[in-house]
């Protein structure tokens, strides 16, 4: 019987005082080991169990025998052997009969050559379009990021039992549908890559601006999304990957300035820009430079370019709204969505005058989707406030408050309503 992931974590932590290198190795390389074991053993659950057993063996053996020269290779080979042993047990031989051809002669295939390719394969299979979007996000967090089922459920505001069933169903579909464990060929890559980037950005957005609850930022989720993008940028140096990584770094650089000590929202124009992470901004701008050299008009690169304009403005009043409006216009021509139109309208209002933005927002009133989006009503309320139409602004703020679910945003809208109500 293999130990559970929670038990494995406990074993590693209990050894950390005597042999801290094992715990560090687990946190740094367990996903690499798992990705290769999935390729070698052909099954998610078996590979996870084998990986956990390999680390447990390291906890027992390395303090006495010494750390191997190539610890990752040792762990992969140990996990591979454990997996083969598990296959050969009578209880599971029938379930894994398709893997019985794997024998000791193939154990050298467990060498860490191509480990990075295995990580790329795992990311693409977790984000396979045959799976539902919710399943892709959950599976990516579980397998690529190494979060426990409980951690994923908490991050996505779901019940652990529901989340666990979703992951089990996703793995079953991968197995039964025979989804290949491979990186798409170049001709398919252009079609598949946007889906992978979408999952990563969804993880980031859920961490950067929680869809529900009292917390505005979940640092662990946004950090995991950035880490995934960094892995992808190293393994698959594509311009759109660089653009997404730049976008997330530039947004995340403002994280510590987005809330006050009470956890209340601080708008972009009121943020203390000295609290922005300048090293992160510098890194984001470097990735943007590489993205612009390859894909200057791609969606993530355009969005990163917008974030860069904000990042480079020392004061809110120094923001180049003319450039931002042009960038949103270019983005809308590629992807004419109502949300992009909303952001373009706000940029036009800041560039020209509130009435100019309101005229553009009025053109969206026939869109049913945007009318259920709380930020549309919040933006409209803000422009009405700036234009001096306080009564209409109050109505718009009230509608935004009805639709908002995030605690900090609701408190912000209530404060705006209170300030306006006193002046009407």
Asked if residue 71 has pLDDT above 80, the reply is yes
Kindly tell me the burial class for residue 372, based on how many C-beta atoms sit within 10 Å of its own C-beta (0-12, 13-18, 19 or more): exposed
Domain 11-104 listed as CATH 1.10.10.10: no
Contact call for residues 267 and 385 (beta carbons, < 8 A): no
For the segment 89-95, the average pLDDT, to the nearest whole number, is: 56
Asked if residue 305 has pLDDT above 50, the reply is yes
Tokens of residue 248, six digits: 């997330």
Q: Which residues pair with 259 in a beta bridge?
A: 265
For the segment 281-291, the average pLDDT, to the nearest whole number, is: 98
Asked if residue 10 has pLDDT above 70, the reply is no
How much of the chain exceeds pLDDT 90, in percent?
62
Whose CA is closest to 12, among 25, 1, 2? Answer: 25
Whose CA is closest to 87, among 69, 76, 111, 103? Answer: 103
Q: Show me where the domains of the chain are located.
A: 11-104, 115-207+219-236
Phi, psi of 406 (to 5 degrees): -85, 130
Instruction: Output the pLDDT for position 294.
Output: 96
For the segment 355-383, the average pLDDT, to the nearest whole number, is: 96
Instruction: Output the pLDDT for position 114.
Output: 59
Instruction: Output the pLDDT for position 180.
Output: 87
- C-alpha distance from residue 370 to each of 81, 159, 313, 380, 396 (Å): 55, 29, 30, 12, 13
Asked if residue 2 has pLDDT above 60, the reply is no
| Integer Cα distance of 379 and 393 in angstroms | 10
Tokens of residue 379, six digits: 């933006």
Instruction: Output the pLDDT for position 11.
Output: 43
For the segment 15-41, the average pLDDT, to the nearest whole number, is: 77
- Which is higher by pLDDT, 273 or 190? 273
For the segment 277-284, the average pLDDT, to the nearest whole number, is: 98
> pLDDT, tens digit, for every residue of 391-422?
999 999 999 999 998 889 999 999 999 999 86
Tokens of residue 189, six digits: 């890559």
Asked if residue 14 has pLDDT above 80, the reply is no
Asked if residue 260 has pLDDT above 60, the reply is yes
> pLDDT, tens digit, for every residue of 94-147?
555 555 444 444 444 444 445 668 889 999 999 999 999 999 999 999 998 888
How much of the chain exceeds pLDDT 70, in percent?
85
Average pLDDT, the chain: 86
For the segment 250-254, the average pLDDT, to the nearest whole number, is: 96
Phi-psi region of 157 (alpha: psi -120 to 50; beta: other; left: phi over 0): left
Instruction: Output the pLDDT for position 221.
Output: 84
């Amino acid at each position: 019987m293999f130990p559970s992931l929670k038990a494995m974590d406990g074993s590693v932590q209990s050894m950390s005082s005597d042999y801290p290198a094992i715990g560090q190795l687990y946190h740094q390389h367990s996903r690499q080991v798992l990705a290769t074991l999935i390729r070698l053993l052909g099954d998610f659950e078996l590979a996870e169990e084998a990986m956990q057993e390999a680390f447990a063996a390291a906890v027992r053996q390395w303090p006495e025998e010494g750390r191997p020269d190539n610890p990752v290779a040792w762990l992969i080979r140990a996990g591979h052997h454990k997996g083969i042993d598990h296959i050969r047990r009578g209880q599971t031989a029938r379930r894994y009969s398709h893997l019985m051809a794997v024998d000791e002669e193939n154990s050298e295939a467990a060498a860490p050559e191509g480990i990075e390719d295995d990580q790329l394969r795992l990311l693409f299979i977790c984000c396979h379009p045959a799976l539902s979007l919710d399943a892709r996000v959950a599976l990516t967090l579980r397998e690529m990021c190494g979060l426990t089922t409980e951690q994923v459920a908490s991050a996505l505001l779901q019940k652990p039992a529901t989340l666990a069933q979703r992951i089990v169903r996703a793995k079953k579909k991968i197995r039964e549908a025979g989804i290949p464990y491979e990186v798409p060929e170049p001709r398919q890559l252009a079609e598949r890559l946007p889906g992978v980037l979408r999952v990563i950005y969804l993880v980031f957005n859920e961490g950067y601006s929680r869809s529900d609850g009292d917390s505005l930022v979940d640092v662990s989720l946004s950090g995991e999304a950035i880490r995934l993008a960094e892995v992808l940028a190293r393994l698959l140096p594509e311009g759109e990957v660089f653009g997404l990584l730049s976008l997330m770094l530039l947004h995340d650089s403002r994280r510590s300035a987005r809330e006050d000590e009470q956890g209340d929202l601080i708008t972009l124009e009121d943020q203390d820009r000295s609290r922005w992470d300048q090293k992160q901004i510098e890194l984001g701008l470097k990735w943007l430079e590489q993205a612009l050299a390859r894909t200057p008009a791609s969606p993530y690169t355009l969005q990163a370019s917008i974030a860069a304009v904000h990042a480079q403005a020392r004061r809110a009043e120094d923001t180049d709204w003319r450039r931002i409006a042009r960038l949103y216009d270019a983005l809308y021509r590629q992807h004419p969505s109502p949300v992009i139109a909303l952001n373009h309208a706000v940029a036009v209002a800041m560039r020209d005058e509130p009435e100019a933005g309101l005229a553009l927002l009025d053109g969206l009133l026939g869109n049913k989707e945007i009318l259920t989006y709380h930020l549309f009503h919040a933006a409209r309320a803000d422009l009405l406030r700036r234009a001096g139409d306080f009564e209409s602004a109050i109505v718009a703020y009230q509608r935004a408050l009805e639709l908002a679910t995030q605690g900090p945003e609701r408190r912000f809208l209530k404060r705006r309503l209170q300030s306006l109500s006193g002046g009407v």
